[in-house]
Each structure stands twice: as structure tokens, then as C-alpha cells.
Amino acid sequence: MVNELSGKVAVVTGGASGIGRGIVEKFASEGAAVMIADVDAERGEAVAAGLGANACFQQTDVSQPDQVDALVSLAVRRFRGLDIMVNNAGISGAMHRSFLDDDLADFQRIMAVNVLGVMVGTRDAARHMAAAGGGSIINLTSIGGIQAGGGVMTYRASKAAVIQFTKSAAIELAQYDIRVNCIAPGNIPTPLLASSAKNMTAEARAVHQGDTRDHAGRPAAAA
């Protein structure tokens, strides 16, 4: 169907590359006005420029609640509404040969981006949608949050948290005609897929080959 989203306004975090960029381009092709958010300003500006007047970019680190609030407010002001919020931004973590070797040094950052960022994005979008008659919120998780396995334990835990949060938010926000759903991609060849294993030896990567196929998303930088 052509222009299925005509007249709709969407925000997509992590929209400068990977899955996020694909979502942005598809939404735009279906007629939506799209606010692109990412920490990568150069890529984000380029994507927005390529899509024309119905797309714009806002540099945003979703681990910072004030920046997410500003993002949602800007979308509402610029496009006079908000119908769709896609909390796609996410990062992976360093992959270790064994969980016993994991120093958990990246725990706070991963949780701040992958969990707090999704929660704040959902809340701030829902505040507007509740007053405007409803909307749709889509949270990107991962097959790694569903299937147990070794490697990148913090990443897996963060994605599992997104699934439970999404289910809970869907129940609470239904009274405002806000739909909240999540998508759990499997093996999609984006930059994030290799980012967690880039510092590992070939032997260590072989140990966790099945686990790296579970990751999906965008480059290992918060957006």
C-alpha cells in the first residue's frame, strides 16, 4: 500500500544506520514525517537530507532523559504531533571468552542506553499521545533477549528487560489507546552484529559464533 502513513508523524531513535535507518526510510516512503535521532550527527544529517522536507535530524543520546524529552517536544512542535515512537537505539557490549572473564565494565552504559532509553522514550511519547488520543510505540529488542546463551550477558539481560517492560507498558497505556509492541530481530547483518566481537581472538569468536548471530541493531554507540 502506497502512502499508508500519510499524515503521520514518527520519531525513530538510532535512525542514522542499521535497522533504524531502514525504518526511517520505509516510514518516509509511506508518507510519514520522520524525526531522526542518533548520536552520529554526520550520518543522521545525511539521512535526513536525502529524504527531503518531511525528515529532520536531532542529535540525541537516549541515555540522557533530558535529551529524549527535548527530542519528543521538537517532533511535536516541528510536525504538529506525534503518532509513532520507535525506540530503536541500542548498543552491544564487549564479548568475553567466558562470563568468568567479564569485568562488567560496560554494564551501566548498556543498561542506560538499552533499557533507560527505551523507558524514557516510551514515557515521553506516551505523555503526548495520551493527551492527543492515542498512538503507537515500537520498542526494538533482540532474539538475544528471548533465547538464552553465552556471551554478552549484559546485552542479553537488557534486551530481556525491554520485552518485559513493553508488555507492562502495553497493559498500562491501553486505556489511552496507545499500542506498545516490541520487535525481536534475529540475524541481521548490521554493524552491531560484529561490534561486540571485534576485540576477540578468532578462537574466542568461534566459541561464541552461535551467540553473535543473535545480535541485531545499530553500531555500538548510543543514540
Take residue 156 and report the three cell numbers written for it: 542479553
Take residue 4 and report the three cell numbers written for it: 499508508
SS3 annotation, the chain: CCCCCCCCEEEEECCCCHHHHHHHHHHHHCCCEEEEEECCHHHHHHHHHHHCCCEEEEECCCCCHHHHHHHHHHHHHHHCCCCEEEECCCCCCCCCCCHHHCCCCCHHHHHHHHHHHHHHHHHHHHHHHHHHCCEEEEEECCHHHCCCCCCCHHHHHHHHHHHHHHHHHHHHHHHHCEEEEEECCCCCCCHHHHHCCCCCCHHHHHHCHHHHCCCCCCCCCCC
Smallest CA-to-CA distance from 155 within 115, 198, 128 is with: 115
Q: How far apart (Å, rounded) are the C-alpha atoms in residues 191 and 207?
A: 20
Q: How far apart (Å, rounded) are the C-alpha atoms in residues 164 and 123?
A: 15
Candidates 142, 155, 192, 214; catalytic one = 155
155: annotated active-site residue: yes
Active site members: 155
